[in-house]
Amino acid sequence: MQNDSTSPIEKKQNNNGGGVDLSKSVIAYMASLSTARGRNVQKQALDRMAEIISGGRVCDCFSFPWHLVRYEHTQAVRARLMELYKPATVNRFLCALRGVLRAAWRVGLMLADDYQRASDLKSVSGESLPAGRELGAGELVSIFAVCDRDKSVAGVRDAALIALMYGCGLRRAEIVSLNFLDYDREAGRLKIHGKRNKERYAYLPAGAVVALNRWVIARGDCDGALFLRIRKGGMICEILPMTGQAAYTILLRRAAAAGVSDVSPHDMRRTFVSNLLDNGQDIVTVSKMAGHANIQTTARYDRRPDEAKKRAALSLHVPIMGGV
């Protein structure tokens, strides 16, 4: 973006005089986000937009004068983002931009009129191909077989963890935030602490009950995180819960040992949604099971439409003679 006399950076130098705490707007916006991951993701978005608006002079959102951003700047950054990213990513960036401008107004750094004009940004329309994939039944069997062959306590724990990824469609952050007391063995259900502090119950399929009960026996019934770290030598560390990154790494390692590539915890969640829908469950129920705020989100996880299109295409006969 060109650097001109109206850029926020030059306005800061000429008008602000260094008397404003530039971090206030970002701190207030970050405080409104409910998860550490959400704060990290949106900070990266703000860093990138600060870089774009300033022409590369500022890359740290905490050092950028968001209260001096005006309508011409937000429209220009929107146009640039559309050149760089897919629609869904652009809209996430714009959400961060609106949020930090709203925070600048709320903390008294920005006039209401300036805020309303600058934040008057249309969302970007368009639809890209869905990310991720659905695992096949054979791939799931292979991953669980790898865990089963590992007779150590780590094999028991990893089988239970992956069973919840697929059998309950849990996000990895939801899995590692589970407490031992969240598991009701009699009812075969878990109390899930989801996004935006929303709680729900997840009922376990029979196989997941078996896997989780095996882990509970190995873990013991002490209070604390349901899934714990395991030290070298197979010792369970009762005071250290697992991290979301550790859950991701465990799935990758077990999948690689099973010969399954290109897989993520969210792919297990996508497979959970698709398989339930394929089994005839209604989308409203599946949406509630997945902890989605609306069924449109659930529909994006469904890979069945592509399978239907593939079957339809294969039913056509193109009369080409001979082979390649």
On whether residue 129 sits in a domain, the answer given is no
Structure tokens given for 62: 């905490």
pLDDT value, residue 23: 92
Examine the domain organization and report whether 63 and 161 are in the same domain.
no
CA dihedral of residues 48, 28, 96, 295 (deg, nearest 10): 140
Examine the domain organization and report whether 151 and 91 are in the same domain.
no
On whether residue 311 sits in a domain, the answer given is no
pLDDT value, residue 140: 94
Told to judge if 301 belongs to the known catalytic residues of this protein, a careful annotator would answer yes
Examine the domain organization and report whether 39 and 109 are in the same domain.
yes
Range of the domain at 14: 8-118
On whether residue 3 sits in a domain, the answer given is no
Contacts with 69 (C-beta within 8 Å, 6 or more apart), sequence order? 8, 53, 101, 118
Examine the domain organization and report whether 89 and 190 are in the same domain.
no
Say which of 106, 200, 266, 300 is annotated catalytic.
Answer: 266
Examine the domain organization and report whether 157 and 274 are in the same domain.
yes
Select from 118, 148, 175 the last residue of a domain.
Answer: 118
Examine the domain organization and report whether 44 and 103 are in the same domain.
yes
pLDDT value, residue 103: 96
Examine the domain organization and report whether 236 and 266 are in the same domain.
yes
Say which of 43, 102, 157, 269 is annotated catalytic.
Answer: 269
Per-residue tens of pLDDT for the chain, all 324 residues: 544 444 545 555 444 445 788 999 999 999 998 778 889 999 999 999 999 999 999 999 999 999 999 999 999 999 999 999 988 899 999 999 999 999 999 999 999 999 999 999 998 887 665 677 889 999 999 999 999 999 999 999 999 999 999 999 999 999 999 999 999 999 999 999 987 778 899 999 999 999 999 999 999 988 899 999 988 877 788 777 888 999 999 999 999 999 999 999 999 999 999 889 888 888 899 999 999 888 888 887 776 666 776 776 777 768 777 655
Say which of 86, 98, 195, 214 is annotated catalytic.
Answer: 195
Q: How far is Cα of residue 230 from the mean position of the Cα atoms in its chain?
A: 26
On whether residue 126 sits in a domain, the answer given is no
Structural domains of the chain, count:
2
Say which of 12, 219, 292, 303 is annotated catalytic.
Answer: 292
The end-to-end CA distance of the chain, in Å, is: 51
pLDDT value, residue 6: 46
On whether residue 182 sits in a domain, the answer given is yes
Dist. CA 50–CA 8, nearest whole Å: 10
Examine the domain organization and report whether 169 and 300 are in the same domain.
yes
Examine the domain organization and report whether 158 and 103 are in the same domain.
no
Select from 62, 85, 118 the last residue of a domain.
Answer: 118
Say which of 157, 171, 270, 303 is annotated catalytic.
Answer: 171
On whether residue 146 sits in a domain, the answer given is yes
CB 25 within 8 A of CB 61: no
Structure tokens given for 220: 């013991």
CB 124 within 8 A of CB 236: no
Say which of 43, 172, 301, 303 is annotated catalytic.
Answer: 301
CB 277 within 8 A of CB 264: no
Examine the domain organization and report whether 71 and 213 are in the same domain.
no
On whether residue 324 sits in a domain, the answer given is no
pLDDT value, residue 18: 54
Dist. CA 155–CA 148, nearest whole Å: 6
Examine the domain organization and report whether 202 and 265 are in the same domain.
yes
Told to judge if 171 belongs to the known catalytic residues of this protein, a careful annotator would answer yes
Examine the domain organization and report whether 109 and 180 are in the same domain.
no
CB 49 within 8 A of CB 97: yes
Instruction: Provide the CATH number for the domain around residue 255.
Output: 1.10.443.10
On whether residue 309 sits in a domain, the answer given is no
Told to judge if 48 belongs to the known catalytic residues of this protein, a careful annotator would answer no
Told to judge if 292 belongs to the known catalytic residues of this protein, a careful annotator would answer yes
